[in-house]
Amino acid sequence: MFTKQIGIDLGTANVIVYVRGKGIVLTEPSVVALAHDDGSPRPRIVAVGEEARLMLGRTPGNITAQKPMRDGVIADYVITEYMLKYFIQKVCGRVNFFHPELMICVPSGVTSVERRAVKDAAIRAGARTAHLIEEPLAAAIGANIPISGPSGNLIIDIGGGTAEIAVISLGGIVVSRSVRAAGNRLDEAIANFVRKRYNLMIGERTAEDVKIQIGSAMPMDQELTMEVRGRDLIAGLPRTITIGSNEITEAMDPVLQQIITSVKAVLEETPPELASDVIDKGMVLSGGGALLRNMDKLLTQVTGVACYVAENPLYCVAKGTGLALEHIDFFRRSLVAVHYVRSCPRGSTCSAWASTASTSARRRSASWAASMPASGPSSSPRTPSS
Ligand code: ADP
Ligand code: MG
């Protein structure tokens, strides 16, 4: 039977879906809004994706808008599964009839437990099979880098939760670092800066807006400015200030330095033959963070190695997952194996621990699945009942 092949970039900030033969078909923020109704033991899904993102920081008491992915990995298993199911249904129709074959990316260096959580979530969300690929490899494939040759390529993916830096050769990762300093930390740094310097409290969406509209990784000669609204910490009333790019550069600096330190560490650990390839070819930037003004210039300046932004950096990983699935025999060696027996923390007996973890997850997800309408969550937010 015809099986849909779908590549998913399950990111901290965005879920991007690539369907074989169609390309990128969906880009939505990884946000789910839940209502906690009085008397009901389980929360109710109110919205998923962009609609839920618009609710961030604007919800009444009984609704919470949550990001189920944190630092690139699943922070809330059940909500992630629900979100995946919603997006898969959106691109496939009823998954009851067409169980798709999925390729999902995971950050390099996630634990085997975290990998299995992603794979299990995909299967429970209706996939026939789910393959996993490490994010830097997917990003490189999506950026049209020939990863299978005997030559070194350095890729830097700056997402919402993590920045991943990896040197790839012969279809595998030779050296890599994953640092929890990326888009979200930049937003937090901007919000903290505005609070300290202007006594103005701004929300995370406003901080992200400032970063996108006027943020720059290096000081600019012709500064951009922007009006920012928030709540005055002293008077407690709404207030507007005007802020410039160079102040935002100053605010973001500590986080940018963390990314730079990791890039330098990877360069230092790269074997000499591969380092020479990297110097020849330069480093490639992908992910939403690649769109930050002058990020490529900053990295070029501090490392002395040329840095380029990939074409459509936001979509590299999703496109790479889709291409890896399309040419799965060619890329099979690069995929991540998921082992169902693994070492476990604090010396507990592994199989006992593993089976409890997965059983409780299954139980929770079964109870959620039962509470879900067949066609997915309601597309419009319901008025909260008080
Ligand atoms: P993830 O893979 O973790 O979901 P993405 O690669 O989708 O992350 O990138 C999302 C991040 O990129 C967010 O933190 C967002 O603020 C940031 N971003 C998107 N566009 C821009 C831009 N033009 N300038 C700076 N940052 C941006
Ligand atoms: Mg990403």
Could you tell me which of 353, 342, 339, 157 has the C-alpha nearest to residue 262? 157
Q: Give the closest ligand to the alpha carbon of residue 135.
A: 2
What CATH number should be reported for the domain whose range is 183-251? 3.90.640.10
Is the distance from the beta carbon of residue 178 to the nearest atom of ligand 1 less than 6 Å?
Answer: no
* CATH architecture for the domain at 147-180+266-313: 2-Layer Sandwich (3.30)
Is the distance from the beta carbon of residue 292 to the nearest atom of ligand 1 less than 6 Å?
Answer: yes
Who's near 299: CB < 8 A, 6+ residues apart?
A: 156, 260, 263, 283, 285, 305, 307
- 287 CA to middle of ligand 2, Å? 6
Atom of ligand 1 nearest to the CA of 30: 4
- Residue-level pLDDT at 92: 83
Domain ranges of the chain: 5-137+321-371, 147-180+266-313, 183-251
Is the distance from the beta carbon of residue 13 to the nearest atom of ligand 1 less than 6 Å?
Answer: yes
pLDDT mean values, one per 10 residues, the chain (386 residues): 84 94 94 87 89 88 88 84 89 75 87 87 89 94 93 96 95 93 97 97 94 98 96 96 97 98 97 96 97 98 97 96 91 77 40 35 37 37 34
Is the distance from the beta carbon of residue 316 to the nearest atom of ligand 1 less than 6 Å?
Answer: no
- Residue-level pLDDT at 351: 35
- 195 CA to middle of ligand 2, Å? 29
The domains spanning 5-137+321-371 and 147-180+266-313 adopt the same CATH topology:
yes
- Residue-level pLDDT at 101: 92
Q: Which CATH class is domain 5-137+321-371?
A: alpha beta
- 183 CA to middle of ligand 1, Å? 6
- 289 CA to middle of ligand 1, Å? 5
What is the value of pTM for the model shown? 0.85
- 16 CA to middle of ligand 2, Å? 9
Q: How far apart are CA 339 and CA 347, in angstroms?
A: 18
Q: Give the closest ligand to the alpha carbon of residue 72.
A: 1
Q: Give the closest ligand to the alpha carbon of residue 138.
A: 2
